[in-house]
Amino acid sequence: MQTEHPELTLTQIYNVLEKLRAGEALSDTEEAIKMNGLVLIIKELHDSIDRLTAGAYGWPTDLSDEDILARLVALNAERAAEEKRGLIRWLRPDYQRARAGITGETPVKEEQIEAELVAMDAKAQKPMFPTGDVERTAAVFAALMNASAPLDGAAIARSFRQGMKIEPAILRVLAALARIGNVHTSDGRRFALRRSA
């Protein structure tokens, strides 16, 4: 989007993102930054990363920044104490032990973390289609942006966990985007983002 809108800076985009998160009103200039910089999509992606990271640590998703920092400091102290006792949680022992200059047999007091390498089923890997109108618009926008060819409602619906039952909602978003000129269609079925010349 910065290529299409050279006046956009990352600072502007993230300042608008912070205002959105704080629930503050945006000026006309900030509204333009929000639209041109696809700030709602950036917000959705950051929120998803935050949820997945919290889940990986087994933490609630609604922690404040201060709570997250306190937990990370405590976890770091816990890991440092374990390493002083000789407990090392290797993720890639062959690689990490050699890099740490440890040779020979692995001492008994070291622990190997083992994670199951299981592929999630395809449906579980797909994102959920949002429930809010703004978020739905951002999700459809993102699908069109990542597409190499025009998409129809069914193709977009298949990229979400709910599948074909959300196609009517996707078609409503596509129709609205077409009415305001953000997307175009040659046949009324398949849509693509309108790119700046």
Note the pLDDT tens digit of each residue in 131-187.
888 889 989 988 898 888 899 999 999 988 888 899 999 999 998 888 888 888 888
Q: Which phi and psi (to 5°) does residue 106 adopt?
A: -75, 125
pLDDT, residue 146, reads: 84
Residues 6 or more apart whose CB falls under 8 angstroms from that of 138 comprise 38, 40, 41, 43, 44, 130
Q: Does the pLDDT of residue 9 top 60, yes or no?
A: yes
* Spatial CB neighbours of 177, under 8 Å, sequence gap ≥ 6: 137, 140, 141, 183, 191
| Distance, CA of 54 to CA of 184 (rounded, Å) | 39
Phi, psi of 109 (to 5 degrees): -75, -5
Query: Is the per-residue pLDDT at 197 higher than 50?
Result: no
Predicted TM-score of the model (pTM): 0.46
3-state secondary structure of 33: helix
Q: Hey, which residues does 183 pair with through a beta bridge?
A: 193
Q: What is the pLDDT of residue 83?
A: 82
pLDDT at 147 (0 to 100):
85
H or E element at residue 89: strand 89-90
Tokens encoding 35? 């639209």
The answer to whether the CB of 4 falls within 8 A of the CB of 195 is yes
Token code pair at residue 151: 């998409």
CA distance 137 to 170: 8
* pLDDT per position as a tens digit, 39-76: 999 999 999 999 898 888 888 988 888 999 999 999 99
Give yes or no for a contact between 35 and 7, defined as CB atoms under 8 angstroms apart: no
Q: pLDDT value at position 108? A: 45
**Cα end-to-end span (Å), the chain:** 13
Q: Which contiguous run of DSSP H or E holds residue 184?
A: strand 183-184
Are the CB atoms for 40 and 135 separated by under 8 Å?
A: yes
> DSSP class of residue 90?
E
